[in-house]
Every structure is written in structure tokens, then in C-alpha cells.
Chains A and B, each alone.
Chain A
């Protein structure tokens, strides 16, 4: 179904030009793949590993450049972008928010009761904000978007490429990176940011209600604690972390699906590869964020 719709839109948008005609972002399936077997089994593995990461980084840079280029938003690409923006975000937005609300209530209750029992209730609210809003919710939102949207999207792109759709679209003058990959990547970024923002707001409101109850008496103190936690450096790290999380969960699964990094496996294998690499990057980003915040 997707292939049919995309092929029809591609035929209508025949004026789309290839931005990287000389050095294609995605090699054609007909092109002979680079063989690492000449290096030997001992040397081939790290070289293949490095090449895989290089392709991911290169692909991410290309996506960012394409996202910043107005020529990428043609009629065909714009329609695909709108469709993916809505379909990747709206269906999961509400029940992910409900899940986060439940998580917030449970964690807030545990932290507040524990802090109260140790006589440290003045630190409970700050701890709740730091643990939930700063650390847990952006990571949870990124993982949720990855599992629900970007990894299946990457697998779908891998399938389309294996089916030779990309070569067909190139033959019609369409760049599949612009018309198919870029909208999915941008939709993944958007979904991550939206989910993280909404869940953070819901978590803040629920944490306030869990600590103060149904009263406005604690708004001033709560706002002060919030401002105390989100000093400029923490706020900047939070924004950067969320942004890089969204980039990681959007680009890595698609890059893993588009490139034959490991071997000629199935689409599930491509999805698994993307998942593993994406988890590694998320771990590094979270560690860097923690180090920047608390080191």
C-alpha cells in the first residue's frame, strides 16, 4: 500500500531533482557493494564497524542539510511530511501521556514518602523534577518513538530499497531520500519533541498535585523550585539532550535500514541492528548529559 501511494506521488512529482547526483546518499542496489573480505576476518570486523558508524553519521549530516534546504520541501515531499507528522505522533501521543502520568504518580509518591521518612522532604520536589522531567521522560519518549515509529519506518525503508523501489524512483527523477526518508526522519524528531514536551508538562502538573494537592497555595514555591532546578546550563543541556535523542532515534534506525552495514539480512535484522546502535547512542547521550549536569 505504501509503495503504491509513494510510487503514484513520485510519478506526479516528476520535477524533483537529485541533490547528490554525483555522490548518492543511498547507493543503488545494482551497484556492486564494497567487499571487506579482502582485509581478512580479523581486520574486516572493526573496519566494517567503523564504516557502519561513518555511514550513519554521514546519513545524519545529509538529512540535517536536506532539512535545512528549502528545495527539499517540494509538493510531494511536503505531503509525505504532513502525513508522517500526523500519523507518527497523534496515535501515540495520548496513551503515551497517560503512561507517563502513571509513571509520574508512582515515582513521585515513592520519592516523597521516602524523603519524608528520612526528614528530607524539602528535597523531595527537586528530586522528583530532576529524576522525572530531566532524566526519565525524555529518554522514555525517545525510546517510545523509536519502538513505535522510527524503527518500523527504517525497516520499511529497507524493504522498499530491497524491493528496488528506490532505483525505480531514481529512474523517474525522484530522490527517495527527499521524498521518503526525510519526511520520516523529521516526523520522528517531531514526535520525540512533542511527546517529551507534553509528558514533561503533565509530569510537572501531576508532581505538583501529588505533593501539594488540589490547592494553589504551593504554586509560588513550586515555581521557585522549578526555576532553581532549571538553571541556564541545565535547561540548555535538557534541550540539547532532547534534540540529540530525537536525532538519534530518527536517523540511526533509518540509516541502518538503508545501508547494508552488516550483511544482507532481513528487515527484522535491519531493525535489530538499528535498535542496538540506537541504544548505544542513547546511552552515550544520557551519560554525557548526566556528566554535564552533575559532574
Chain B
């Protein structure tokens, strides 16, 4: 016996089964099922493709001394591009870490026998395995090759940095201790500041007492007076300079006269130069005269020799006369 139908509540109205019968229900349901199956199957296939299930790979074994940060599934990159994926991490018999990496064959040509592999741990992000191939003309890396992984750890510097930071903090702590010099210095600075605020001000701080600061103030006053006088003197010197300017550089100044004098001097020099030219001519004539005199002088030597010979002859003659003419005592010979 069925219960009589009642007014549906909002919940009843929201029930999916309350909708009107659907035409071609079985066909639509089958389509929906096929759609779902295709969706799931496509997702699974894409996942397998993304995981490299359909891609042939070759293995590479990296040997490291520490596997920290290395996880299964992480990438091995070459120039920033992922070319391999870690398949397994295990301990070798020697205690080293063996990292088995699957490299797709289409990317394996980037790895050469001379390739270098590093295990870098950055400050941000996880550990990264990187491959570097310097010489791409070297032979390709064979499958199953075992290579060492060099470790570069950015956090390895952290202990040193922390130790340095600790030293710095200890120094700061020592500087800020109660009996530290810095604290005493600050106290002194505070005291000086108080003195600066006092009646003596900076003078009191510099001289330590008021009398000396007053002396300095008096000296300053006198200095100011001297400076005022120097100012007046400077003003007078300025006036004198102005007058000197007028005298020297004015229209009737010394400079003009000097210029005229220089012109006159130049003219005189020109005259002197002409006179000197004449003197040169005179000298040339004098040189000619000198040459003549030199020739005359040579003739005079000959003449002198002759005169001397004549004189000697005359002397001989006089001597002869004197000998022959004894009465006369005057032996002086009167030359013409």
C-alpha cells in the first residue's frame, strides 16, 4: 500500500531523481561512461608519458659523499634544462652514495666523457644536480657510466658566517658592557653635553673654567676690533688702488706715457741702428786704413833698419870724427 503523495520539501525538490524521465537515457549514460573512461585513460596515459614511461633511457651513476637533499624523482639539469631524473639513491659498499639517474636517450648526447657533475645545494630550494660538458666533441658518455659528483654547498659557508657574526655580537656586547670604554665614553659625552648646555657653553668645555673663557672672549673682542681696523685699512687701500688705477690706467695715466716713451725709445733705437750702420761703414774704412797702416808699418821696419844702419854708420862716423876730432867733447848727434 503506497502512501499518498505530499507536497515536496525543498530538499525533495533538489533531489536529482525528482527530474522528469530522460529520453534515450541508456545511450546518454553510455556516452557519459565512455567519456569518463576516456578522460581517466587519457589522464593515465599523459601521466605515464610525463613520467617518461614511453621513452628509452640510459642510466648514469653519480657517486657522492653525501646524499643530503637528493631525493628520488629530482632532476639533473644541463644548462638549466632537465635532462635526467634520479631513479634511486643507495649506499655503495665503500660507504659512498650512489645516485642512479635515468637520462633519456634523446638528451644523452649532451653528456660526454669529459662532463662534470655537481651536487649544488642553494640557500633557497632544494639540492640540484647539474651536468657541465665543456668539450662537446668528446665521445658520448656510455650507458651505465659511473662518475663522481662534486659537491658545492652554499650553506657550507653558514658556520663560518655564524662564527663571524657571533664574534661581532660578542664585540658589541663587550663594547656595551657596564665597565666598557664605550659606555664610559658615552658618559663623558653626556657630561660634555651637559656642560655645553650650561652657561659656559662650548668655551667652558674647552677651557675647563670661566676665567679662561672670558679671556678668550676678550681676545675675540680685540680681534674683532683689529679686524674692523683692518677693514678700514682695506677700504683705504681699495681707494688707493682705485686712484692708482686712475693714475696708471687712466686716460692720462702712466701707462699711456710709458707707451709713448716706448714708442720714442723704439724710434731712438732705429736711429741708433742707423748710426751703428754708419759706424760699421766707418769701421770698414778704419779696417782698410789699418791695413794700410800695417803695410806702412812693414815699410817703416825696413826704413827703420835702414835708418838704424845709417845711424850706426853715422855713429861710426862720429866716433871716427871724435877720434879724429879730439877737441870736441860734444858727442851728441843731432838727428834730422
Q: Tell me whether A137 is interfacial, beta carbon within 8 Å.
A: no
Q: Write the nearest CB–CB distance from B31 to chain A, whole angstroms.
A: 9
The chain B residue with its CB closest to the CB of A91 is: B16
Given contacts A86-B25, A155-B11, contact A227 B2 (CB under 8 A): no
What is the interface size of chain A, counting residues whose CB is below 8 A from a CB of the partner?
Answer: 47
Query: Which of B46-54, B235-243, B316-324 touches A?
Result: B46-54
Residue in A closest to B13 when the chains form the complex, CB atoms? A152
Assembly CA distance A83 to B20 (angstroms): 11
Give CA–CA (A254, B299) in the complex, Å.
170
B40 within 8 A of A: yes
B39 and A83 within 8 A (CB): no
Chain A residues with CB under 8 A of B52 = 227
User: Using Cβ atoms and an 8 Å threshold, which residues of chain B touch A85?
Assistant: 29, 32-33
Contact with A along B1-45 (1 / 0, CB 8 A): 111010001011011111100100110110011011001101100
CB pair B1–A168 under 8 Å, yes or no, is yes
Min Cβ gap A6→B in Å is 9
Asked whether A197 and B36 contact (CB < 8 A) given A87-B17, A148-B16, A152-B15, the answer is: yes
Instruction: Tell me if A175 counts as interface (CB < 8 A to partner B).
Output: no
A22 to B40 Cα, complex, angstroms? 40
Residue from the list B3, B15, B36, B124 in contact with A164, Cβ < 8 A = B3
B290 interface residue per 8 A CB criterion: no
Within 8 A of B (CB), among A145-199: 148-149, 152-153, 155-156, 159, 163-165, 168, 190, 193-194, 197-198
State whether B18 touches A89 (Cβ < 8 A).
no
CA distance A96 to B152 in the complex (A): 49
Q: How far is the CA of A268 from the CA of B10 in the complex (A)?
A: 10
A268 adjacent to B16 (CB under 8 Å): no
CB pair A201 B22 closer than 8 Å: no
Known A190-B36, A227-B52: A86·B15 in contact at CB below 8 Å: no
| B82 proximal to A (CB < 8 A) | yes
Q: Contact partner of B15 among A153, A190, A224, A268, CB < 8 A? A: A153
Measured between beta carbons, the chain A residues less than 8 angstroms from B49 are: 223, 227
The answer, yes or no, to whether A230 is at the interface (CB within 8 Å) is yes
**CB-based contact A2/B50 at 8 Å:** no
* Option from B11, B40, B72 in Cβ contact (under 8 Å) with A231: B72
Considering the complex, which residues of chain A in the window 80-102 have a beta carbon less than 8 Å from any beta carbon of chain B? 82-91
A23 at interface, CB cutoff 8 A: no
CB nearest to A222 among chain B residues: B50
Residues in A with CB closer than 8 Å to B35 are: 194
Known A91-B16, A227-B47, A228-B73: A271·B2 in contact at CB below 8 Å? no
Determine if A124 is an interface residue (Cβ-Cβ < 8 Å).
no
Judge whether A201 and B39 touch: CB under 8 Å. yes
CB closest residue in chain B, given A187: B16
> What 5 A-B pairs are tightest by C-beta distance, nearest first?
A227-B50, A152-B15, A86-B29, A231-B73, A87-B16
26 A-B residue pairs with Cβ-Cβ distance under 8 Å, sorted by A, are: A3-B2, A3-B3, A4-B2, A82-B26, A82-B29, A83-B17, A84-B16, A85-B33, A86-B29, A86-B32, A120-B124, A152-B14, A153-B15, A155-B15, A168-B1, A194-B35, A194-B39, A197-B43, A198-B39, A223-B49, A227-B47, A227-B50, A230-B47, A231-B73, A235-B47, A268-B9
